[in-house]
Amino acid sequence: MGTQVDITFDGGRVDAAAFGRLARHGVDVEALDRKARAGMRAEFAEEDSTVRFYAEHHRDELGAVFGEDGSIDLETLLATLSLIRIGFSLESDPEDSGIILDYSIGAEVTNYLIAVSFDEDGELEDISMES
């Protein structure tokens, strides 16, 4: 399965400088992926973890991720997630521009994704579950 890359802008003029700031992070996809996965590891420890909710929501499909005690093997979960899309968002307000990495356990299994958002400087902003 390949990874889709797309660019979205808010209909105004594309600011070449804003695109340049975003594109420099997209050059090293592996580094951005590592940063996203590190963010998912950290977020997993939070009380209202999106990553934990995603796993629990897909309990039947991810049986190997769960121990007999119902605990989630985070490393197995992360190994199961595939990066399927990298989105560059260029907005007229640079504060709203950023990069989104979408992860899935497989389109044949679910239409839900874990979306990891970065600001234009490559700093993690949010982790959410999307459909």
Domain with 22 in it: 4-130
Give DSSP secondary structure letters for 80-102: H-EEEEEEEEE-SSGGG-EEEEE
Q: What is the pTM of this model?
A: 0.87
- Per-residue pLDDT in tens (0 to 9) along the chain, 131 residues: 578 878 777 666 666 776 676 666 555 788 889 999 999 999 999 999 999 999 999 999 999 999 999 999 999 999 999 999 988 887 766 677 788 999 999 999 999 999 999 987 789 999 999 99
18: enclosing H helix or E strand = helix 16-26
Residue 18 · residue 121 · CB < 8 Å: no
DSSP 27-81: S-HHHHHHHHHHHHHHHHTSTT-HHHHHHHHTTTTTGGGB-TTS-B-HHHHHHH-
What is the count of structural domains for the chain? 1
